[in-house]
Chain A
Amino acid sequence: MRLSDLPHDEAMRRLQGPGLALRMGPFRVRVTSRIRRFCRQFVDLYPHHRLVEAEEFIDFDIRMKAGWSWVFPRGRVARFEVNGDAPLTPLPLGQAMPLFEWGLNWCVTTQSHRFVMVHAGIVARGDEALMMPGASGSGKSTLTTALCYRGWRLLSDELALIDLEQKLVYPMPRPISLKNRSIATIQRFAPEVHIGSRVTETRKGEVALLRPPAASVAEEDRRARITRILFPLYDANTPAEGLAITPGQSFVKTFDSTFNYGIHGKRDFALLADLMERAPAAEIRYSDLDAAIALIEGSSLWSAPLTTT
């Protein structure tokens, strides 16, 4: 049963009362909040996710609470609480939805060390995944979104969760966070996108949260093998051009984007080194999404051609 199968009133009642528990990739997340606007946005952004029906273990028990603060001039703030701790700075009440997304990312990246975690957009065709590491502002979310509306499935726009045992990526498709100019760019590129929450004046500027595609959420248990690594960089003067890079360069650049590298000692090194040996890597600069996708799906960029379709 999916969240959209639940009557809207019942979903709101659960969110504001006992909590609403959803499967999110490898995790079970329970959300509780009395902030009505947040609850409406949550229901609007997560309709395709499965409800946790039976009594099951909950990985992250999250409360979004309204409160007062003298730090922000306008007074009302939203607080992110997980398992009784409040690890993040409260934000103005209207930013509760992005705060939830950032907070859940915080939970995953600080507590889920069965994975090597890379700050990356990640999409797949079939069981073969393309990982796009990069810092905020590199354009990885924009390119991730664009690929998702051209036949790829979304694993995540933020987190590549690479399992230490099987070395597979676990999908965790959730709302995609787009910032500033990329919001309009994506609306032009894929008019069918659904924006569930739009907030101005965050610390990252304007942020829009896009509902993740239903087909990607339906396949969130389908793990994938990383077969390509791409380092995107938005460049207004270049439609799209790219260059293959060596495994060594790819290692160093990926290493820069990991959240928990070193926590497992040598195992982290071995996993990444093995990944770089297997997966060809390239850098691209782009401003034209169609041209960038043509480059990614073509054969000129890679030292070995993409095999799957």
Chain B
Amino acid sequence: MAALTPAEWTSVVAVARHAGLLARLGELARRDGVFDRIPESPAHHLEAARAIAEKHRRDIRWEVVHVARSLAPLPGPAVLLKGASYVASGVSAHLGRLFGDIDIIVPRAQLDEAEHLLMLGGWFCDKQSAYDIRYYRQWTHQLPPMRHPVRESVIDLHHALRPPIAPGKVDTSDLFREARPTELGLYIPSPMDMIIHSATHLFCAMDFRNGLRDLSDIDLLLREFGTSDGWWRDLVDRSRRFGLVSPLAMAMLHARRMLGTPVPPAVLAGALEAAGRGEHRLLDRLISAALPPASVATSMAEAVARGLLFARGYLLDMPPPVLAAHLTHKLVSLVPRQRGSERPEPV
């Protein structure tokens, strides 16, 4: 790290910031004992990003305590997913992590009660049209984002790992069975389930803007827990039971390719085979183009690849007739939305 030129440092800081990984870069440098060798000016940026990430971490813990209090009457476990679960469990993927919202999953049977309890706690959905209510409840695996008007936190309440109308059946009862409670009051998934869910979120999702950050989460989790051959085999087996071996295989493939994650080659080959294919050439190239901030400016190819993957995410989620209906509705509502989309005035 110390051997970079000033111009290279300029690029490193810009690209890491663009990818949401600036704070993590500093934390990993600190963990590996090389932070002192970073020149002063870029170090200021890493420290500033660290201050933001630390603030996020404090805020998210505080918010999780509030959520736990609201959901206390729920009979089944409410399980944190993604960023909030990393923080609540203290796994390495919490290092330098930034947060947008809090992802929580509850058993489908308790969805209505969980939503009701969160509303009593002050969170409510901004999107209230009859269409939105039907879209989210019938066709997706989560409710529309619930926002707290005072503290401005946002909760994504999930009731499944994949949309109920997506092909293939995903049984989440295993996830709840192996979840364990934390001091903050909510549950966290087992490390394997964290990885499988993060992979599913990334490789079945429609939004690759945080793609490299999410891949970096998976990389850190695989490095932390993948310490024996048996563990790797169990991970792939478990993902097969969920019916989610395909996104896990993709995550391992791309993490190894882009971040050098030490995935055993035999494990990767086995997972790809279990997913029903070897390397999927076109899709792999699209993902490789969409994940990294290749140049500082969002390049044309990256934007196109993200657009195609966005479409793919919809195709994975919805049978074509449903997709057609949904896109028609979105197109009709597009024009007035753009007019009202101005951001607040700068300082």
Contact = CB atoms under 8 A, between A and B. Distances in A.
Given A109-B347, A114-B48, A84 B6 contact: no
Interface stretch (B37-45, B133-141, B258-266): B37-45
Contact of B48 (A55, A61, A102, A112): A112
A84 B48 contact: no
A309 interface: no
A112 B46 CA distance: 10
Given A109-B347, A263-B51, A56 B14 contact: no
Contact of A113 (B41, B52, B58): B52
A84 B45 contact: no
Interface of B: 5-7, 9-10, 13-14, 17-18, 39, 41-42, 44-45, 47-49, 51-52, 54-55, 58, 293, 295-298, 338-339, 342-343, 345-347
A35 B58 CA distance: 43
A171 interface: no
Contact of A84 (B5, B58, B298): B298
Interface of A: 28, 55-59, 61, 70-71, 81, 83-85, 88-89, 99, 102-103, 105-106, 109, 111-114, 119, 158, 203, 259, 262-265
Contacts of B14: 61, 83-84
A85 B338 CA distance: 20
A58 B39 CA distance: 12
A83 B18 contact: yes
Most buried by B among A84, A99, A265: A84
Most buried by A among B6, B49, B54: B6
Shortest 3 CB-CB contacts between residues of A and residues of B: A83-B14, A113-B48, A102-B346
B293 A113 contact: no
A55 B7 contact: yes
Contact of B342 (A57, A71, A83): A71
Nearest to B42: A57
Given A58-B10, A59-B41, A85 B18 contact: yes
5 contacts: A56-B41, A57-B9, A57-B39, A158-B347, A264-B51
A61 B296 contact: yes
A144 to B, nearest CB: 16
B58 A265 contact: yes
A111 B5 CA distance: 22
B292 to A, nearest CB: 12
B293 A84 contact: yes
B347 A102 contact: yes
A89 B347 contact: no
Main secondary structure of the interface of B (DSSP, over half): helix
B297 A262 contact: no
B52 A114 contact: no
Contact of A57 (B6, B47, B339, B345): B6
A113 B347 contact: no
A59 B48 CA distance: 12
A29 to B, nearest CB: 12
A81 B297 contact: yes
A105 to B, nearest CB: 5
Contacts of A56: 6, 41
Nearest to A54: B6
Contacts of B48: 111-114
B52 A263 contact: yes
Nearest to B4: A57
A55 B9 CA distance: 11
Nearest to A88: B346
A265 B45 CA distance: 18
Given A84-B293, A84-B295, A119-B347, 13 more contacts: A28-B41, A56-B41, A58-B6, A71-B339, A83-B17, A84-B14, A84-B297, A85-B18, A89-B343, A112-B44, A114-B44, A263-B51, A263-B55
Contacts of A85: 18
Contact of B47 (A59, A106, A114): A114
A83 B17 CA distance: 8
Contacts of B293: 84
Contacts of B39: 57
A203 B295 CA distance: 34
Contacts of A57: 6, 9-10, 13, 39, 41-42
Contacts of A84: 14, 18, 293, 295-298
B6 A105 contact: no
B24 to A, nearest CB: 16
Contact of A106 (B52, B55, B346): B346
A56 B338 CA distance: 41
A59 B22 CA distance: 13
Contacts of A263: 51-52, 55
Contacts of A28: 41
Nearest to A109: B347
Contacts of A203: 345
B294 to A, nearest CB: 10
Most buried by B among A57, A112, A119, A259: A57
Most buried by B among A70, A99, A262, A263: A263
Nearest to A99: B346
A136 B5 CA distance: 41
A209 to B, nearest CB: 15
A269 B339 CA distance: 41
Nearest to A58: B10
A105 B345 CA distance: 12
A88 B347 CA distance: 10
